[in-house]
Structure 1
Amino acid sequence: MAPKRVAALAFVALGMMAGSALADKGMVKDGMLVNEKGMTLYTFDKDAPGTTNCYDKCATNWPPLMADASAKAEGEWSLVERKDGSKQWAYKKMPLYLWVKDTKPGDTTGDMVNDVWHIAKP
């Protein structure tokens, strides 16, 4: 393969990896679970332990806390496989989500939305 083509492919591959950076599992802050940026994590009452029921428009409004394919469960942190084969972080087997209307760390505007979304707590 020509050197310019190899360099171009490498550049595209690096760009794809950077653009698709996935989240580390969350952490506890101020008595709730947050992602690495301090954004509040939520659980969904319509999920069952170890499974997710939030896809399409739901997942647009409630982005899943996605995990890298090589992520490993640890303690109370586990992984849920989504229908497309990707992985999502879960805590005590409940899948975790962000809320699009939370705009800064510490926001909790998703708590009790439609009486089915709740702040994830340790």
Structure 2
Amino acid sequence: MNTRSRLLAALALLTLSAAGPGAHAADAPAMARDGVLVTPAGMTLYTFDKDPADATRSMCNGPCANNWPPLAADKSAAPTGDWKPIARDDGGMQWSYKGKPLYTWSKDQKPGDRSGDGMNGVWHTAAP
């Protein structure tokens, strides 16, 4: 993990621990805000209907993952509560929540945007 990644991870943990009611435990990779899961930076997280329940792999790879970047997990990440890291086809790791891999949407421009909700009838905001 490079220095920038370490700083971002530390900031994420500080943000999560200070988030207060509605947030997940400080070791969770995301938090609840306004009824949806968001990254520590406040970007909306999404689920993909084509991912099977209790997925051990993501069905969104290649060009799909360019549009729907996975919520990256560190190779050393361990399951915690409802959170579990899963392997990706590209060799990376991705966080899943309650068995569903999580993604951001490349067209969301700022925290709170939810422009991917309902996209193609298969993308939905991730609920806590």
Query: Which amino acid counterpart does residue 82 of structure 1 have in structure 2?
Result: R
Distance 1:114 1:89 in 2: 23
- 1:91 matched to 2:97? The reply is yes
Q: 1:106 aligns with which of 97, 109, 112?
A: 112
Percent identity of paired positions between Structure 1 and Structure 2: 54
Q: 1:34 aligns with which of 34, 38, 50?
A: 38
Within 5 Å, give how 1:61-100 maps onto structure 2.
Answer: 61-100=67-106
Deviations 1:20-42 (A, max 9, x none): 66866111111110001000000
Distance 1:84 1:106 in 2: 29
- 1:17 matched to 2:2? The reply is yes
Distance 1:26 1:72 in 2: 14
Distance 2:32 2:120 in 1: 25
Distance 1:78 1:28 in 2: 17
Distance 1:42 1:92 in 2: 13
Return the index of the structure with the highest Cα Rg.
Answer: 1
Distance 2:100 2:58 in 1: 8
Instruction: Give the 3-state SS of the residue equivalent to 1:60 in structure 2.
Output: helix
Shift in CA distance, 97/76, structure 1 to aligned 2, threshold 3 Å: same
TM-score with structure 1 setting the length: 0.80
Aligned residues: 107
Query: Which amino acid counterpart does residue 28 of structure 1 have in structure 2?
Result: A
Distance 2:90 2:125 in 1: 26
Q: 1:18 Cα shift?
A: 4.0
Instruction: Give the 3-state SS of the residue equivalent to 1:72 in structure 2.
Output: coil
TM-score with structure 2 setting the length: 0.77
Instruction: Give the 3-state SS of the residue equivalent to 1:74 in structure 2.
Output: coil
